[in-house]
Amino acid sequence: MRWRSSLIILLLGTAAAWSDVADVRPHDFAYGMPIKVTAEGAAYRLTVPIEVYKGVAHDDLSDLRIFNARGDVVPYEIKSAANSAPTRSPGVLLPLFPLRADARASLNGVRITVQSAGAAVDLRTSPGAASPPTVITSYVLDARASDQPLSAFLLHWPAGAAEFSGAVRVESSDDLRVWRVARDDIPVLNLHTGGAELVQSRVDFPSTEAKFWRLSWLGAPAPFELLSVTGEPTPQPLSSRQSSVTVSGSAVAKKDNELAFDLGARLPVTQVNLLLPDANSVLKIELLSRSSATDPWHTVSREEFYRVNTSSSEHSNEPISIPKNLDRFWLVRQVQPAGPIGPLRLEAMWDAKDVLFLARGAGPFLLAYGNGSASAASVSLDSLLKEITVMPALTGSSFALGGADRLRLPPRTVPWKLAVLWTALGMGVLLLAWMAYRLSHDLGSRTPAARQAEDQ
């Protein structure tokens, strides 16, 4: 049975090699942060702080681990720090102007006065126009006070209004002359029977931004007058929370129109902004970046940045969106006005990342990071966390674990442990094939009489 002993030794060596490859401890990482929890839970969530980006060896945070008090890695997942729900602004009550004219007609025969200083619209029929009918067939809504796209109207009519089943058309305009149909044939209901009611007063349509709106009854108009209409702004989609860092610029030798910035880490920047020190300033700027201090600069964007004061408020530009940029070093070059550039601060923003981890084993837990030879170990926890309340957690101050030497990338050679593993697996396959061959050969070489004797 010598071959059986050889096989057992081979498999044990393979398992040992694999265990050695997969086993990591806190001191295998350069730095660590204590994790602070405020309540007991089965799972926790924390936001990756900027110190982690400054100390990792891999831009994708693959050299990050969560350890329990025994020094064992616990299951964790790195994912975007999304807001809990889409944000919805409150509805806006829109000024409402009834039109007693043919719903299929435009505003012909109607004199329109728009007061630019206020929010009033004056609708009057022309002197030669026929007397308006008593039935209201359409309404004009003034939405200039709303600075957001709208996607629905809530119609309000008197309590006890007559029953009605009909439809309405929604149109938009920016000048009260050209109208665009946002949605046609939207049902509106006000039905009551036996103490029950069926009311459909919400009018939905594709998200549209416009200064004016028109609601027109299709077919028979409603036998009641609308009291008011509330416009619902389009909900903002689910978005990621933002992390940011702000750094001051330093002068560039012999170039008084340039400032250099060091973010201190390779951050996944998606938005940038320049904070101007003086009010009523407008600068045309070329933004450049590079990965290391010796690389050539490459242009990221050319933008105008401003800061303007009025008698009642201050206005400044929004942050500039850019494709994800991992460069650490940035350069601001003033294009206009010509001349030396003043002191500026650069704000860099990126989508925040959360770490979700299971509280396997006893705490306190430790966030460790910075290992040049580590590979990704994040797993999906969505299915496990469906019925679990994820508790918040915070990180403490960073401290050294294994030191900066752990950040060194491994040489581009096949690791000997991995080579041993694959060699052992290959030898195991060959050994099993040889055993099958020997067994088949032995069975085929026996005589029928010998096999019958063995059976007896």
Task: Write a three-state SS string for 350-392.
Answer: EECEEEEEECCCCCCCEEEECCCCCCCCCCCCCCCCCCCCEEE
Binned at pLDDT 50, 70 and 90, residue 8 comes out as: very low
C-alpha to C-alpha distance for 349 and 269, rounded to whole angstroms? 5
280: left (phi over 0), alpha (psi -120 to 50) or beta: left
Query: Average of pLDDT values for 365-385?
Result: 88
Beta-bridged to residue 288, according to DSSP, are: 299, 331
Tell which CATH classification among 3.40.50.150, 2.60.120.260, 3.30.300.30, 2.40.100.20 matches the domain 92-233.
2.60.120.260
DSSP 293-305: TTSPPEEEEEEEE
Residue 444 pLDDT: 64
Q: What are phi and psi of 5, to 5 degrees?
A: -65, -40
Residue 340 CA to its chain's centroid (Å): 38
Degrees (nearest 5) of the Cα angle 14, 19, 22? Answer: 125
E strand spans, 144-254 = 150-156, 164-173, 180-193, 196-200, 202-208, 212-218, 228-233, 242-248, 250-252
- Residue type at 286? E
Degrees (nearest 5) of the Cα angle 100, 103, 105? Answer: 100
C-alpha to C-alpha distance for 217 and 430, rounded to whole angstroms? 83
C-alpha to C-alpha distance for 269 and 86, rounded to whole angstroms? 23
pLDDT averaged over the chain? 82
- For the chain, state the CA radius of gyration: 36
Nearest to 314, CA basis, from 337, 281, 347, 351: 281
Q: How far separated are the first and last CA of the chain, in Å rounded?
A: 24
Q: 């690791």: which residue's tokens?
A: 415
C-alpha to C-alpha distance for 302 and 304, rounded to whole angstroms? 7
C-alpha to C-alpha distance for 235 and 200, rounded to whole angstroms? 21
C-alpha to C-alpha distance for 247 and 187, rounded to whole angstroms? 55
Say yes or no: do domains 92-233 and 244-351 share a fold: yes
Beta-bridged to residue 129, according to DSSP, are: none
C-alpha to C-alpha distance for 391 and 393, rounded to whole angstroms? 7
Position 405 pLDDT exceeds 50: yes
pLDDT digits (tens, 9 = 90+) for 122-161: 555 445 444 445 789 999 999 998 888 999 999 999 998 9
Domain 244-351 has CATH 3.40.50.150: no
pLDDT digits (tens, 9 = 90+) for 318-350: 899 999 999 999 999 988 888 788 889 999 999
Q: Which two tokens stand for residue 160?
A: 């006890």
- Spans of all domains in the chain: 30-81+354-407, 92-233, 244-351
- Residue type at 48? V
Judge whether 97 and 228 are in contact, CB under 8 Å.
no
Altogether, the residues listed in the chain come to a count of 456
pLDDT digits (tens, 9 = 90+) for 15-49: 433 343 347 899 999 999 999 988 888 899 999 99
Residue 14 pLDDT: 38
Query: Average of pLDDT values for 98-110?
Result: 57
C-alpha to C-alpha distance for 425 and 431, rounded to whole angstroms? 10
pLDDT digits (tens, 9 = 90+) for 230-287: 999 987 665 567 889 999 999 999 898 999 999 999 999 999 999 988 888 888 999 9
C-alpha to C-alpha distance for 78 and 396, rounded to whole angstroms? 19
Residues with Cβ within 8 Å of 8's Cβ and at least 6 positions away in sequence, in order, are: none
Higher-confidence residue: 409 or 426? 426
Binned at pLDDT 50, 70 and 90, residue 219 comes out as: confident
Percent of the chain whose pLDDT exceeds 70: 79
Judge whether 166 and 157 are in contact, CB under 8 Å.
no
Residue 88 pLDDT: 62
Residue 4 pLDDT: 47
